[in-house]
Amino acid sequence: MHLLRSGKLGSFWRFVREPLAVAAVMIFSTSAIAAPFYVPSGSMEPTLAIGDAIIASKFDYGYSRFSMPYALGPKSDARLMEKLPARGDVVVFNLPRDPKIVYVKRVIGLPGDHIQMRAGHLFIDGHDMALKPAGRGEVEMEDGSPMAATRYLETLPGGVVHPIYKLGWQGPLDNTPEFVVPAGHLFMMGDNRDNSLDSRVPAEAGGVGFVPMENLVGKAQIVMGSYDYRNARQIWTWPAEFRLARFFSKVR
C-alpha cells in the first residue's frame, strides 16, 4: 500500500479541507435548519402561487428520517424533539403513499379532531369555521389560463385566519364523510379548496389521506422568489413574469 509522506499529506489536507467544510455546512443546513422547495401547482392559491420558490424551516416540529436528504434513516413513529404543528401552519411533507413526492398543504386537523365538509363549509369537531368574503381573485388552471374565484378569510380554532379560494359550493369535495384524525397523524387541505388533492381524498383513492407526523419535512416560512413561467410564452415577456411583490414575503 502506498502511503503519502507527512508533507504531502499536509498539502493534500489544506487543499481539500475548505471544500469539505463547505459541503459539511451545506449538508447540515439542509438537514437541520432549512431547505428550498418549488411550488408546481395551484392547490395552495392564493397563499402560494405556481412558480413560488419557498424556504421551509426544519426545526419547528423536530426531526425524522424525512428531515434528512433522500429520507436516510430508520422508520419511526416518533420524531426527535417532536412538536405538534398548530392548526393553520403551512407545511411541507412527503406523501404517505409515495414518499418520493413532496407536497405543501395547510394543517387543518390535529390528532383526535373530527373533520367534515358540508356544502363547501369546513366543520371541525362539529363547529362551522367562519368565512368572511374578501373580494375576488383568479386561480390558475392547468393550461395556465385564469379562472375567476371568490376569496374568503377562514378562521380556524385558535384564531388563525387564512385565505381560501372557492369556485362553488357543490363540488366533488364539498360534501364528505366525517374524518376522525388518528393519533400521530394530521389532516391537510389546500387553500384552493376546489382544486386541491388533499386529505379529503384517501390514499387508496390516489389522494393524500391522513399524514403521519413522521412525514413532515418542515414549516413553509418565506417565499424567496416567484416566476410565472406558464405565461412566459414570448421571450420579450420573460422579465415581466417575475412576481417581484412576492419576493421575500412571509407564508401565512
Q: How many CB atoms lie within 10 A of CB 221?
A: 15
List of residues 6+ apart from 14 with CB closer than 8 A: none
Predicted confidence at residue 228, as pLDDT, reads 86
Predicted confidence at residue 19, as pLDDT, reads 52
Residue 215: give the domain boundaries: 34-250
Please pick, among 58, 67, 105, 196, the residue that the annotation labels catalytic: 105
Task: Identify residue 16 by its one-letter amino acid code.
Answer: V
Q: pTM value?
A: 0.85
In a domain, 2, yes or no: no
In a domain, 28, yes or no: no
SS3 191: coil
Q: What is the number of domains present in the chain?
A: 1
In a domain, 1, yes or no: no
Predicted confidence at residue 11, as pLDDT, reads 57
Quote the cell numbers at residue 133.
368574503
In a domain, 204, yes or no: yes
58 is catalytic: no
Dist. CA 187–CA 109, nearest whole Å: 5
Residue 242 class from Cβ within 10 Å (0-12 exposed, 13-18 middle, 19+ buried)?
middle
In a domain, 76, yes or no: yes
Please pick, among 43, 64, 67, 199, the residue that the annotation labels catalytic: 43
In a domain, 54, yes or no: yes
Q: Which residues of the chain have pLDDT under 70?
A: 1-32, 70, 72, 142-144
CATH number of the domain enclosing 123: 2.10.109.10
In a domain, 8, yes or no: no
In a domain, 12, yes or no: no
Predicted confidence at residue 235, as pLDDT, reads 78
